Amino acid sequence: MGIEQIADSFVGKVDDKSIRIGVIGLGYVGLPLSEGFVRNGYAVVGFDLDEKKCDALAAGKSYFKHISDERIAAMAETGLMDATTDFARLSEVDAILICVPTPLNTHREPDLSFVEKTCETISKHIKPGQLVVLESTTYPGTTEEVMAPILETSGLKAGEDFAMAYSPEREDPGNQNFETTTIPKVVGAPSEAERRMACRLYEGVISEVVPVSSAATAEAVKLTENIFRSVNIALVNELKVVFQDMGIDIWEVIDAAKTKPFGFMPFYPGPGLGGHCIPIDPFYLTWKAREYGHATKFIELAGEINTHMPEHVIERVGRAMNDHLAKAVKGSKILVVGLAYKKNVDDTRESPSLELIDLLIERGAEVTYYDPFIPAVPLTRKYAKIEGMESADWSEDGLKSFDAALIATDHDGVDYETLARAVPLIVDTRNAMANVTNTDGAVVVKA
């Protein structure tokens, strides 16, 4: 059977919903993707190394704050979702969607070990006619240059015996305006037949599918999206530092500038970049570009600016404590408000809050954090020494024990009025205090 016949058979299964879909990695990307397919009547086998996740899904329980138990229970009740740690069951599915991490190594170079190991596992169970799609962010060429050779150790030929495609995830955890099925889906593949298979699969659940000419093009699309954000955030972070010394409020500048109905898009400064994508993805292109003799100076400069922001914030904390409290950071009690990398989620991946806590501890401060979504600091490779630190109790009396508070994440549910009454100095990196009507009890410094 040739690839055209494989595509015809595959599309037929999608159309009559007899297809079975395998999703590898039931995390921030794989879980909502699985939910989207199940909600539209498709059978899904979810694969994950974490047995606790599989048990939770079977029991109709969520392990993410931004995904409710009710949603998971509804998915479980359909009988269409089956979560397992048994990767031998990959032979049961028609499509395999890979949603695994693609981090950086200690040299800030791409670490494709999760993708490679996943492909090695798939190669042991792959069968003719299957479609394998990578959703993890990576550099152009990964699908055909890295994945295909590993999968072909099975003895099957990519583009002949099985199909491949690349379709980058565009998840934004906690976003109330968009979810998996309403975010347009970019799809690229090595051939027209493979692209047709992948597009038809996603068309069954996604409101808009955007086909592009190749897998490498789709890989480049994802990097471009996140590099765009990284560069523009670096710009406003740099402007923030300059304007602060001029006595100008960057937040007021942006609010006024965005009234222009054309030619301007607002981006906002912060204490550093967080999340799995923006702090990491630009360096995938930087690394790959060297193979072609190109230095991505603009991207690397943005990375330097954003990476330096936690240091800048801690400098502002030290200066503010000296100016307004006549105290040094060393020996002071400081509360970091927010551990998540952005508001209203429990996601600490690459969170600048972890770096801020680490820097304050290095400078001799007694540091505690508060985050209503994260009861304790999870284990990370870089910040293992603060693993298990517990979130502080939130009460006015308890807050009065702190010399200063550093707002690193602007969660909506935090009572900033109480914070202003209880803590004498607040260093605000998110403009969270802008709507607090009475800050007479505290000096508020933007950073």
Residues annotated as part of the active site: 277
Among 199, 160, 134, which Cα is nearest to 6's? 160
Strand runs (DSSP E) across 255-387, as ranges? 333-337, 366-370
* Alpha carbons 88 and 50: distance in angstroms, whole number: 16
Among 99, 164, 170, which Cα is nearest to 135's? 99
Local structure of 86: helix, strand or coil: coil
Residue keyed to tokens 């975010």: 183
Structure tokens given for 189: 């593949």
* Alpha carbons 426 and 405: distance in angstroms, whole number: 5
Among 218, 118, 224, which Cα is nearest to 165's? 218
HSE-up of 180 (CA within 13 Å, CB side)? 22
Structure tokens given for 366: 């007694």
Structure tokens given for 202: 């996603």
Local structure of 134: helix, strand or coil: strand
Residue 287: CB atoms within 10 Å: 16
Local structure of 239: helix, strand or coil: helix
Cα–Cα distance list, 422 to 287, 346, 393, 433 (Å): 48, 25, 13, 14
Interhelix angle 51-58/69-77, rounded to 10 degrees, is 70
Helix (H) or strand (E) holding 216, with range, is helix 215-246
* Alpha carbons 132 and 119: distance in angstroms, whole number: 9
